[in-house]
Amino acid sequence: MIKNIKQIFNENKYLVGRVDVRSTNECWNWLRGTREGYGRVRVLGKKVSVHRLVYEIFYGSIPESKPVIRHKCDNRLCVNPLHLLSGTIVDNVSDRVVRNRSAKGEASGRAKISKNDVEQIRKRYVPYKVTMKSLSLEYGICLRQVWMIITNRSWKS
């Protein structure tokens, strides 16, 4: 199976030498021209998206009911056929919503920590010695969270 995929990439004139082919669990990045982050290639005089072309080469024509080719890996340059799946426009929007949500979660420093961590942080905090700053770095949470834990404010685990 893996051998076949790589073989097709080596034999297809649109793909050969233009893709960073790696092991199947890695992303295979397109090495040539792009538009809006997606690889582009000229096929029969028409510019097409490479990930859509690759999908059709490996899985057949893109279903009308699921016309959007999505990346499981969230990497637009990737043309690894195992990272592609077809979906509806709604799927594509929900992918984006989920992505934004997780990005915001990380940005606000809302890392998940356990009840046990909370107890440890309360025990270990010693002003000017084990500081809130060092605890926040160690547990990967923001200063405000450390402060809330130490001062026994509402804590939702």
Closest to Zn ion by CB, 50 vs 149, is: 50
Choices 33-41, 76-84, 98-106, 122-130; region in contact with Zn ion by CB under 5 A: 76-84
- Total residues interacting with Zn ion, rule: CB under 5 A: 6
Closest to Zn ion by CB, 52 vs 83, is: 83
- 19: contact with Zn ion by CB under 5 A: no
Rounded to an integer, what distance in angstroms lies between the CA atom of residue 35 and that of residue 142? 37
- 85: contact with Zn ion by CB under 5 A: no
Q: Which residue has the tokens 């961590």?
A: 117
Provide, rounded to whole angstroms, the least separation between the CB of residue 74 and Zn ion. 8
Can you give 101-139 as a three-state secondary structure string? Answer: HHHHHHHCCCCCCCHHHHHHHHHHCECCCECHHHHHHHH
- Surface-to-core class of residue 83, CB atoms within 10 Å of its CB (0-12 exposed, 13-18 middle, 19+ buried): buried
Closest to Zn ion by CB, 71 vs 145, is: 71
Closest to Zn ion by CB, 69 vs 78, is: 78
Choices 2-10, 62-70, 80-88, 114-122; region in contact with Zn ion by CB under 5 A: 80-88
Choices 16-24, 41-49, 82-90, 93-101; region in contact with Zn ion by CB under 5 A: 82-90
Rounded to an integer, what distance in angstroms lies between the CA atom of residue 82 and that of residue 28? 10
- 73: contact with Zn ion by CB under 5 A: yes
- Surface-to-core class of residue 68, CB atoms within 10 Å of its CB (0-12 exposed, 13-18 middle, 19+ buried): middle
Among 8, 14, 27, 85, the residue binding Zn ion under the rule CB under 5 A is: 27
Rounded to an integer, what distance in angstroms lies between the CA atom of residue 105 and that of residue 90? 22
Give percent helix, percent strand, percent coil of the chain, each to the nearest 5.
Answer: 45, 15, 40
Binding positions for Zn ion, rule: CB under 5 A? 27, 73, 75, 78, 80, 83
